[in-house]
Amino acid sequence: MPHTVPNPSNRMSLRVGRLTRNVAVILAAGALSACGGWLYIPPEEAPPAPEAAAPAPAAPAPVAAQPVVTQPAPPASPIRLRANHPDRHVVVRGDTLWDLAGLFLEDPWLWPEIWYVNPQIDNPHLIYPGDVLRLVYVDGRPQLRMERAGGGRERLSPGIRVEPLDQAIKTIPYDAIAAFVSKPTVLDRKTIEEAPYVVAMRESHLIAGAGLGVYVRGTDAVEGTRFNVFHIGDKYRDPDTGEVLGYEALYAGQGRITAEGDPASLMLTETRREVLTGDRLLLEETDLPLNFYPKAPEGDFEGRIISVVDGISLIGQYQMVVINRGARHGVEPGTVLSIWQDGEVIRDRYANRSLIGNALSFGRGERVKLPEEVAGRLMIFRTRDAISYGLVMSATSEIEARDVVRNPR
């Protein structure tokens, strides 16, 4: 048999064919292994037809976008701390709550907004000399906390500690209203009608003064009881509505019961003016509450000053006034109000665009009312049904009766 020499080109073709088949096998095996399967191919056979691929899992249904829930931003704090406020203050005798509020706050009537009441402290609403006030921040808001003098903030075991209430600091200076405690200046009709009264003078006098005796009716008070004597003056009317709010009460003097009965005998111990028949008697009061917190009125508020205690015409700091709003209007002790002074009416001599004005024509020119101005602040310390008594805490200009009072600013 003749010897056949292989054709080099045929060998090359065979190698290329095998190489091509091996590459195809490798690629197919890689594709299946990626799917987690195995592939078996006989060495010299063509690969079988691939099986139908399993259907791809359905894509999940699109989920509707959930609305983004945002927490509302906390309301802007109305608290304005003083630029030079301390972080710590030791209460001293003579401090008042108004003083302390003004020490930390630009607006002292917002004191309740930062005051933290610790239930583990005896009388947490009362502050005593020696107590320590600390300014801290909770969630970014200022808070004022108290440490009781001489001890920790917690009560570790049962016990009793006596703290006289009369030693707690007052909201307003007691000395400023001490003269008023038993000497109101406006009385309502019901109080006047129910009050005891002077019915006659001893020794047939027409008027009486200190050291003289008078006879009074309408009281069963025991011997030694002290009364203040008032002369009833003019009516006070609401300047806005004309309603009679009360009657002027002029302090005449003071006396004490020397003999019980009807009539009873009263000896006048001091007098500021003559005592007349018909003058009314009121028990001397000594329990005027002075521990309360400064606060703004609820809602919009407006009233007027209708009287000044002691009858002065111009009002300054720590003088007392009466306003034409009371308990029925939501006024409470501690209510703080701004005093607004009415704008003056002037003549504008330059309204005609003149450069020099109408200087030679007195009383001529357009009438212009100047805007109102804040003249001070007052705090209410006693209320009646239709009127309230307030103490002027600050005055930047002269204050007069009929000035307007509104929400503090």
Return the HEC string of 361-381. CCCCCEEEECCCEEEEEEEEE
SS3 185: coil
pLDDT of residue 49: 52
In whole angstroms, give the CA distance from residue 121 to residue 152.
9
| Confidence bin at 75 (pLDDT 50/70/90) | very low
- Domains observed in the chain: 88-153+165-169 (no CATH), 186-283 (2.40.10), 302-406 (2.40.10.410)
In whole angstroms, give the CA distance from residue 153 to residue 148.
6
Q: What are phi and psi of 341, to 5 degrees?
A: -100, 130
In whole angstroms, give the CA distance from residue 379 to residue 332.
10
In whole angstroms, give the CA distance from residue 138 to residue 79.
13
In whole angstroms, give the CA distance from residue 332 to residue 322.
14
In whole angstroms, give the CA distance from residue 174 to residue 185.
18
- Average pLDDT across the chain, whole number: 78
In whole angstroms, give the CA distance from residue 226 to residue 34.
109
| Confidence bin at 23 (pLDDT 50/70/90) | very low
SS (H, E, C) 309-337: HHHCCCECCCCEEEECCCHHHCCCCCEEE
SS3 302: strand
For residue range 334-354, what is the model confidence (pLDDT) as tens digits? 999 999 988 888 888 777 766
| Whether the predicted model's global pTM rises above the 0.85 cut | no
| Confidence bin at 27 (pLDDT 50/70/90) | very low
In whole angstroms, give the CA distance from residue 22 to residue 29.
10
* Cβ-Cβ contacts under 8 Å for 274 (sequence gap 6 or more): 207, 208, 209, 252
The pLDDT of 305-329, averaged and rounded, is 82
The pLDDT of 279-300, averaged and rounded, is 82
In whole angstroms, give the CA distance from residue 133 to residue 90.
6
Beta-bridge mates of residue 197: 217, 280
pLDDT of residue 173: 80
In whole angstroms, give the CA distance from residue 144 to residue 116.
6
